[in-house]
Amino acid sequence: MATMKECMTALEGILGDLAAKPAAQGLDRSLSCRLTDLGQVVRGRLARGSVRELRTESDGESLEKADIRLTMTSDDLVSLTDGRLSFGPAWASGRVKLEAGLRDMLRLRSLL
């Protein structure tokens, strides 16, 4: 099981890479990543080409639903960032869950 510090570093890397892509310009969306094995949720905002306001909270602490929601284990998150796990197969197999509105899903598809 990865530590919360490792997960925050991994998320900052993944989300920072996504935010820097030209297709992400103009996006202003709330994000959440639920880490099932740690019982934590990381929340933030994708805006103006960067990820802002990353913070952690206990799972179930907030009723606020983010525009873009990821769910996975801490180990899968770290594996995604270091290249041991590819997003497409992980999503197709259910190891990684991505929930968003149709417009966001179409835009994210071009980013991933």
Whether 96 contacts 108, CB under 8 Å: no
Would you state the pLDDT for residue 70?
92
pLDDT of residue 63: 66
In this prediction, residue 35 carries a pLDDT of 95
Q: What CA–CA distance (Å, rounded) separates 76 from 25?
A: 27
Whole-prediction pTM: 0.85
Q: Are strands 40-47 and 50-58 parallel, antiparallel or unpaired?
A: antiparallel
- Give start and end residues of each alpha helix (H) in 1-112: 4-20, 74-82, 87-93, 102-111
In this structure, which topology does domain 4-103 adopt according to CATH?
Nonspecific Lipid-transfer Protein; Chain A (3.30.1050)
Q: How far apart are CA 8 and CA 71, in angstroms?
A: 14
* pLDDT score, position 111: 59
Given this model, what pLDDT does residue 77 score?
93
pLDDT at 71: 95
Q: Alpha-carbon distance 51 to 16, whole Å?
A: 6
Enumerate residue ranges in the chain where pLDDT < 50: none
